[in-house]
Every structure is written in structure tokens, then in C-alpha cells.
Amino acid sequence: MYTTDWKHEYITTNSIKLHYVTHGDGPLMLMLHGFPEFWYSWRHQIPEFAKDYKVVALDLRGYNDSDKPKQQSAYVMREFLQDVKGVITGLGYDKCILVGHDWGGAIAWSFAHTYPEMVERLIIMNIPHPAKFAEGLRTPQQLMRSSYMFLFQLPWLPEMLLQASDYQAIETAFKGMAVNKSAFTQADIDAYKDAASKRGALTAALNYYRNVWQQGLLNHNWDVLEVPTLLIWGENDTALGKELTYGTDKYVRNLQIKYIPNCSHWVQQEKPQLVNQYMREFLA
């Protein structure tokens, strides 16, 4: 799937060493993955956009080959934002096209609100605007869909469940949720299992959730975002209801939403051609 001209590099920023894969030259396109993933989630987008951009697909802190600080307090939005800012400036840029899915999308939303001057365009996939997510968590249907977030608050038990039977839960997360199961080969599943099995990676990934309530992310006052934004949404997301996208234009001045039917939460992996097409049209 990926070729030898994709480079594996490291950058030290915000007192942490982060791994990324890069390909292409030009303006910076920075890609942020979600849970339980790593840079590999963008394997269908990297070659397409490397034709016109320096594509950088990051391993977020705690994931795969990036550093995994032990203390739970290292996994808070303030730190994620400084990581992203440091990557952009450390690579010699003052702004980027920022692309995020799931947790990476949550970080991208917050980053664009905090540093709008550093984001030329924002592309978000299957994660609602934080204000809309907060609203959703006040409804029974979204609370049910997000019940795993409450399980993840527990110590050690979620790690045990995710590791059981050779990380079967990782496979179930991808293949179980996907509408088109063939979007994930056994090699893809093995890559995700291998990344999750690295020492400290599971606890780090879960710590993102364990810190979610005390950061005030869900009762924040959000200004209207001025950065042009594309929201791509796989309609068959079992974790996040499509209704969470309704009314996003209240928080984003210049917004386009593209819904993709018969597609799960893993939108850029399940319908890569369509996702790439919508990204291209938006960036044109």
C-alpha cells in the first residue's frame, strides 16, 4: 500500500518526540488520526495529495512510534495543541491545511479556533464541532452511542478488554463498524494491532478519554470560526449520530458538509476515492 518514497521522520516539539510519515513537496497538509489508529489511517490520502502538498501524517502523542508519556495529565487538549503548533513551525511553515478524523478532528477543531491564523483550510471527518458534541451528550441517544467513553474512564479494565484474544477488539472496531468489510485487509488490521500493542500505547490512547471531562471542553464558549471548513461525514457512524452535524454553521462562518451514505465512521478508509474527490473540490 505505501511505497519507499514515503519517509519516516521524527520531530521534537513541546518536549516530546513525534513520529510522522511524509511524502511530496509544497504547502503543508497536516493529517491527524483518531482512535485506535495511527498515521496509517491516511494511506489512501497521502499519495493523492503528495502531488501538490508536503503531506505529513502524524502519529499523535501516545500512539505507535511517537513518545508515550506515562502520566495521565500529559493527554490534555492544551498539550495536543502545542504539539500541532510545534510540528507546523518545526517543519518551517507558519500555516497548513489541517485534516483530522475522530480524536484528530477534535484536536483540529480546537486548533483552528485557537490558532486560526495557522490554518489555511480545515478538513474534518466524522467528529462534530465540540459545541455540537456537548449538545449531543445531553441527549439519551448520543449518551448510548458514547457509552464506551464511560467504560474508558475505568483504570486497567479497558486495557485488558482491548488486549484480549490478540487485540480482537481492535479488529472488531474496524471490521465490525465498517459497512464495506473488505475496506480493511488482514494486513491493515494487523498494522493497527501492532501499533496498539506497543508498550504504553493502549493506556496513552485511553488517557485521551480519561481526561475528557475535567478539561471543560464540553462547556466551553466557542467563537464563530472564520477558517473555511469542510466536514465530511460517513452516515452509518455507530458512535456519532449524523444529527450532531446539524447546526454546525452556527459555529463556522464558511462551512461545507458532504455526507457519504453507506459508509461508517472510518470514512477516509472506506470511501477513499470520494473523500479525496471532496477534498480536492474544496481545496480548488
| Residues with catalytic roles | 102, 209, 265
DSSP letters of 198-233? STTHHHHHHHHHHTTTTTTGGGPPPPPB-S-EEEEE
> Strand, coil or helix: what is 173?
helix
- d(CA 207, CA 211) in angstroms, rounded, equals 6
Taking CA atoms, 145 is separated from 139, 148, 239, in Å, by 10, 8, 5
Of 191, 264, 187, whose CA–CA distance to 232 is shortest? 264
Cell numbers of 192, please? 493497527
- d(CA 34, CA 53) in angstroms, rounded, equals 22
Cβ count within 10 A of residue 63 = 28
Sheet with 16-23, side-by-side order of all strands: 7-13, 16-23, 54-58, 28-32, 96-101, 119-125, 229-234, 255-260
